Amino acid sequence: MPLYRIEAVVLSHRYLGEADKIVTLYSREKGKVRAVARGARRPRNRLLAGTQPYSHTDFLLFSGNGLDSISQCELKESFYSLREDLRRMAAAAYVAELYDLLIEEGENNEGLFFLLLSTLHLLTDGEEIELSLRYFELRFLSLLGYQPQLFRCVHCGSSTKEGPLRFSGQLGGVLCPDCWGQDGRAVSLAQGTVEMLKRFLTTSPRALRVFKAGPSARRELAAALRACLEYRLPRELKSRRFLALVQGDGF
Ligand SMILES: [Zn+2]
């Protein structure tokens, strides 16, 4: 049976029988992969540590009929606090569910792998979980090819440097006052919030700590990015309720 190696993050796991589990991985080399981890729920099993949710692990897999199986794995980073702290856990579950839901198996995008790793680092070490998620959402949409139009009106193309703006998730960008009627569900967005979104596009994750945002900018960022994501989602996110429960509504 052919063997192959991948470096991956565990997005989720599901129990199978008494001792096995099926893991969904997002890998650097092959994108999303589902695989069986035999015996991984037994104490002291050699696959136990590397197949926990959010673990960053090197895997050796073999492909056969049906699902691939994990032959060996070596844990690189456990992201332990994402499984211990409820707020961080809820945020990580949300990120993992978006990867699971919006990316098909066989779609390979190394940028998405590195975004996942850097987001898990932000959620593990950072104090600013909320802005980390907003940053992640925008970069994730961009890497999937859905980067919202922030630099001019998405409908008429006119400059949006002045005046109040709205954001349409359905049209995928900002609307000038003349075009607000194009989407009755468009949400208000102050100029400063649009500028922050533009800066997210060019800022490295490490530089995110210099960003400051007040309550109204946070609400606007959350509403705009949520509208954009929900337009792309095939169903409601299960993790959203958990996130709202531990972080507060509108998070
Ligand atoms: Zn317009």
What CATH number is attached to the domain comprising 8? Answer: 2.40.50.140
| Distance (Å, whole) CA 68 – CA 45 | 19
Domain span at residue 10 reads 3-78
* 112-138 pLDDT, tens digit each: 999 999 999 999 988 899 999 999 999
**C-beta of residue 16 within 8 angstroms of C-beta of residue 66:** no
Closest by CA position to 79, among listed 38, 119, 22, 139: 119
Using the mean position of ligand 1's atoms as its centre, give its distance from the Cα of residue 167 in Å.
Answer: 11
| Distance (Å, whole) CA 123 – CA 87 | 9
Together in a domain, 145 and 112:
yes
CATH number at residue 201: 1.20.1440.120
* 195-243 pLDDT, tens digit each: 999 999 999 998 888 889 999 999 999 999 999 999 999 888 999 888 8
**C-beta of residue 117 within 8 angstroms of C-beta of residue 9:** yes
C-beta neighbour count of 165 within 10 angstroms: 26
Structure confidence at residue 38 as a pLDDT band (50, 70, 90): very high
**C-beta of residue 105 within 8 angstroms of C-beta of residue 167:** no
- pLDDT higher than 70, residue 3: yes
Q: What is the pLDDT of residue 79?
A: 95
**How many residues belong to the chain?**
251
Structure confidence at residue 162 as a pLDDT band (50, 70, 90): confident
Structure confidence at residue 251 as a pLDDT band (50, 70, 90): low
Q: What is the pLDDT of residue 58?
A: 98
**C-beta of residue 92 within 8 angstroms of C-beta of residue 123:** yes
* 136-154 pLDDT, tens digit each: 999 999 999 999 999 999 9
Together in a domain, 110 and 14:
no
Using the mean position of ligand 1's atoms as its centre, give its distance from the Cα of residue 231 in Å.
Answer: 20
The tokens of 113 are what?
A: 């792998």
Q: How many independent structural domains does the chain possess?
A: 2
Using the mean position of ligand 1's atoms as its centre, give its distance from the Cα of residue 1 in Å.
Answer: 58
Together in a domain, 54 and 159:
no
Please state whether the predicted TM-score (pTM) of the whole model is above 0.85.
Answer: yes
pLDDT: which is higher, 243 or 31: 31
- Report which secondary-structure segment, H or E, holds 205: none
**Edge-first strand listing for the sheet containing 165-168:** 173-175, 165-168, 187-189
Together in a domain, 31 and 121:
no
Q: Is 161 helix (H, G, I), strand (E, B) or coil?
A: coil
- The β-bridge relationship of strands 20-27 and 31-37 is antiparallel
Using the mean position of ligand 1's atoms as its centre, give its distance from the Cα of residue 227 in Å.
Answer: 19
Domain endpoint, select from 78, 113, 135: 78
Using the mean position of ligand 1's atoms as its centre, give its distance from the Cα of residue 134 in Å.
Answer: 25
Together in a domain, 33 and 65:
yes
* 172-187 pLDDT, tens digit each: 999 999 999 999 999 9
The tokens of 66 are what?
A: 């049906």
Together in a domain, 163 and 242:
yes
Together in a domain, 52 and 141:
no
- As a whole-number percent, the residues of the chain with pLDDT over 90 amount to 82
Together in a domain, 10 and 115:
no
C-beta neighbour count of 133 within 10 angstroms: 24
Q: What is the pLDDT of residue 163?
A: 79
Using the mean position of ligand 1's atoms as its centre, give its distance from the Cα of residue 166 in Å.
Answer: 10
Together in a domain, 27 and 140:
no
The half-sphere exposure of 159 on its side-chain side, counting CA atoms within 13 A, is 3
Together in a domain, 88 and 100:
yes
